[in-house]
Chain A
Amino acid sequence: DQQVKQNSPSLSVQEGRISILNCDYTNSMFDYFLWYKKYPAEGPTFLISISSIKDKNEDGRFTVFLNKSAKHLSLHIVPSQPGDSAVYFCAASDGGGTSYGKLTFGQGTILTVHP
């Protein structure tokens, strides 16, 4: 049972354009959401997060949007740069419960930004 789904295995974008990565979840108890970026041969790096009390969080070129009613979140990267090419993982937590910080990850989306 995949509680966090990233339905697009890959995304290709031109440098300077917007990249939009999507994530859907099924567990209504999730209240904290994160995006991680992963380069080959490295561990995932925390990128940005959002609590369920918000619907938007912005950090520089990265913005995460949360639509609780649709159980959907997205990561926008504007403008996209070749260095953004990586695998992006969406993750979720029901932190207020008994998860003790346990995260559930999506399968990842490979983003390629072309010069």
Chain B
Amino acid sequence: DARVTQTPRHKVTEMGQEVTMRCQPILGHNTVFWYRQTMMQGLELLAYFRNRAPLDDSGMPKDRFSAEMPDATLATLKIQPSEPRDSAVYFCASGKAGGPDTQYFGPGTRLTVL
């Protein structure tokens, strides 16, 4: 049963600390997306990759957020320094370019910044 995995599922940290969220896309998928869900903004696209190359990160606050794909099986989203307004659920999704644009989501990381 192929699925996207995300770690950690929950993270509580203090303002100013670095936060790293990890995502393992479905094997064989070559596009990876990072979303943030807040009450006000719905599902907000932060960044996405194709074949590990960043295509668009215009949705991210660049001064504090960074997204990378060290290899095809791992995507990371870092926040440094974290702020209380970053508290949200962060989802990773993967898909296969060249076919229907269906994305498959992980369970999310719930981040609370105190």
Chain A contact residues, CB within 8 Å of chain B: 32, 34, 36, 41-46, 49, 51, 89, 93, 95, 99-103, 105-108
B97 interfacial by beta-carbon distance below 8 Å: yes
Which residue of A44, A95, A108 has the most chain B CB atoms within 10 A of its CB atom? Answer: A44
Chain B contact residues, CB within 8 Å of chain A: 4, 6, 31, 33, 42-43, 45, 48, 50, 55-56, 91, 93, 95, 97, 100-108, 110
Cβ–Cβ contact A46 & B55, under 8 A:
no
Cβ–Cβ contact B55 & A100, under 8 A:
yes
Cβ–Cβ contact A107 & B42, under 8 A:
yes
Distance, CA A106 to CA B108, complexed state (A): 18
Distance, CA A95 to CA B100, complexed state (A): 8
Cβ–Cβ contact A105 & B43, under 8 A:
yes
Instruction: List the 8 closest A-B pairs by CB distance, nearest first.
Output: A43-B105, A93-B101, A105-B43, A107-B42, A101-B101, A95-B101, A44-B105, A101-B31
